């Protein structure tokens, strides 16, 4: 989503030309008099490309949200992965079992973890990724889920 914040009633200080993230959508705070629509789109794409892939799960590890960078990394859209465990779609023959066990243990104990492993794109191609998983807690301190941040490695 690209929007002109002037039309949305943004104040002059908000019209800085910076890309800001609102959920899974992106707004570009810029007036059309400052940047062309093509330039605005290019800036949004650059921002999405610079963002790490993120996936959130519930406490049992089922996907509840992803960002556009996650779809770009693995090829799956949200409807395709919602409610599934990421590993069921992303792991394959070269995925290291010891790395999978690190993730399983973190989910089982509600602990953070970090690992590097091979994952698989929807098209079947293999890629190496660094995954950082953090537990998420609700207001009462109960485990509510996890957020994984993933970066593709060379």
**Helix or strand or coil: residue 148?**
strand
- What is the pLDDT at residue 3? 44
- What is the pLDDT at residue 48? 63
Burial class (CB within 10 angstroms; exposed 0-12, middle 13-18, buried 19+) of 38: exposed
What distance in Å separates the CA atoms of residue 12 and residue 95, rounded to the nearest whole number?
50
Residues of the chain with pLDDT under 50: 1-17, 19-28, 30-32
- Please state the three-class secondary structure of 90-128 as a single string: HCCCCCCHHHHHHHHHHHHHCCCEEEEEEEECCCCCEEE
- What is the pLDDT at residue 5? 41
- What is the pLDDT at residue 145? 97
pTM of the model: 0.70
- What is the pLDDT at residue 88? 95
């Amino acid at each position: 989503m690209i929007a002109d914040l002037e039309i949305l009633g943004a104040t002059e200080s908000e019209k800085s030309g910076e890309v800001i993230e609102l959920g899974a959508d992106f707004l570009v705070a810029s007036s059309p008099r400052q940047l062309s629509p093509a330039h605005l789109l290019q800036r949004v794409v650059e921002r999405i490309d610079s963002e790490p892939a993120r996936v959130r799960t519930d406490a049992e590890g089922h996907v509840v949200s992803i960002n556009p960078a996650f779809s770009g990394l693995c090829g799956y859209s949200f409807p395709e992965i919602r409610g599934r465990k990421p590993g069921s779609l992303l792991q394959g023959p070269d995925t290291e079992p010891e790395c999978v066990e690190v993730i399983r243990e973190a989910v089982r104990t509600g602990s953070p973890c970090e690992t590097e492993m091979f994952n698989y794109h929807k098209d079947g191609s293999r890629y190496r990724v660094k995954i950082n998983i953090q537990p998420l807690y609700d207001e009462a301190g109960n485990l509510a889920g996890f957020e994984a941040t993933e970066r593709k490695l060379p």
